[in-house]
Structure 1
Amino acid sequence: MTFNIAISENRILKNKNISETELITSIEEKTETILLLLDLHEFQATFFIEISVAERLQKLIKEISFYGHEIALYNINSTPENIEKTKQNLEQFLEKPVRGLRQKEHQFSYPQIQKMEFKYVSEIKESIINFLWRKLTSTTTIHIENDVNVIPESQSPYSQLPFNDYVLQVIPMKYYENMLLESLKNNDYVMIYANVWQLFNSSELPFKLPFYKKINNGRKFEDRLEQLFQFIDENEIAVARMKDYLF
């Protein structure tokens, strides 16, 4: 179970008058909702913090860590130097190692990731509207490259749908639940991920999103998470942080 704490990839603010403080506060508030849901169900998860906002989210990061969740980094467009610096600062701040990096597929090479001293990389693809036509083209099995554990995005072998943020947001929950159960019959794990910004209602979104990513966001998405968590409980599916599953 993983969550991205990031500003939308296009990084275009809907309201140019919103201050940096207001943006950070709104991200903190939505993350609190996720933390409460996880605590209610006694789940532990991994939170991937976007590198460009990590320094400004130290209070929230401390709280996430206090709840027992794992802190990892999410790279959208940072340089290796910036990633290494942020990783080092976070480790000093938390007094814990930061083992994981999430990136869009093959953004940095595995030797580069190893050099930055990450133990695993979570590779995800762009969640765009054409996901319905995506077919399995690469392995979804965890493998090791240059001493780095590579965790590809999970994908259902039956529906061919990826377990990405957009699929969780838009398809009927019963279908998603069946997809999860069927996938777990043939796979040891399914990696699920969502974004904190998906909990924003369309009217309160601080940044612009394409129309198709506004479907079922806000309170509807919060209800979806709660329904998914209840389903996981009822079916006694184990939930773990990335580091616990890997190491």
Structure 2
Amino acid sequence: MINTSRKLFPKWIVFLILGVYLGLNFPDIDQRTDLLVHRSIFTHGFIVPLFFFLFTSLITKKSLRLFLMGFVVALAVHLSFDLFPRGWWGYALIHIPQIGWTPKFISISWIFVSICVCIYIAISMVRGVFEVFVFLLIVIGAFVFESFSEDQFFAPLTILIITNLIVIWWKFTTGRFKIKVFRAIIRGFFLSLSIFKKSFTNFYSMIRDEYNVSMQYKRSFPKFFIRVLWIWLVLFFSTIRDFIKVFNSIFEELKNE
């Protein structure tokens, strides 16, 4: 009877559930100790998961591996909700001992990167098709459970989907193509800045000229406003066209790789 129960309910499930539970609650242990401040970089980041990841090659037992998988996935889920506090100040920011609170941009970047690292570690632990299903089950189950005690839902869900897609692409893409993509992203970024600068400069110059003409010929404000609106529409669609050209050229460059 005992052997039958073990087959129906293997011990790795217990370890998996325990890992998920600890992963969801681990970031908040800094509130229960005087050693750390809430949202400490040690509890709200990839430092602890990365430490575990360095020893995954030594882990042979399935139950322990799935425990760690559950832990890092649940931690990623928790952090995806932490990306949407009521405001980015005080305890919403990442805290570094002896340094203090980090700026908003640094805090957001740290949490986002940590989610990606946690997901990457979890995917690296997957062995076989069945464990792919287990991984997906952990992500969905942990997210739904955590959402019960949170105000946000769709925003963290979007972040979780995006980070999973980024990690899956990164893990299963060749190094050469990654370099190609990064080059394309950088090129697209600077071209976009150039387009924005050009559009703003043209808009400001044309509006200033239109204002001078309106003052010279004493045109009414409604006429001036209509002219400004028309100029804005022309430049807007011209800017969209330029963006389409840029992204189309980048897409063609990547497609030919």
Normalising by structure 2, report the TM-score.
Answer: 0.28
Normalising by structure 1, report the TM-score.
Answer: 0.29
Q: Which has the higher contact order (CA 8 A, sep 6+)?
A: 1
- The structure in which a higher percent of residues are helix is 2
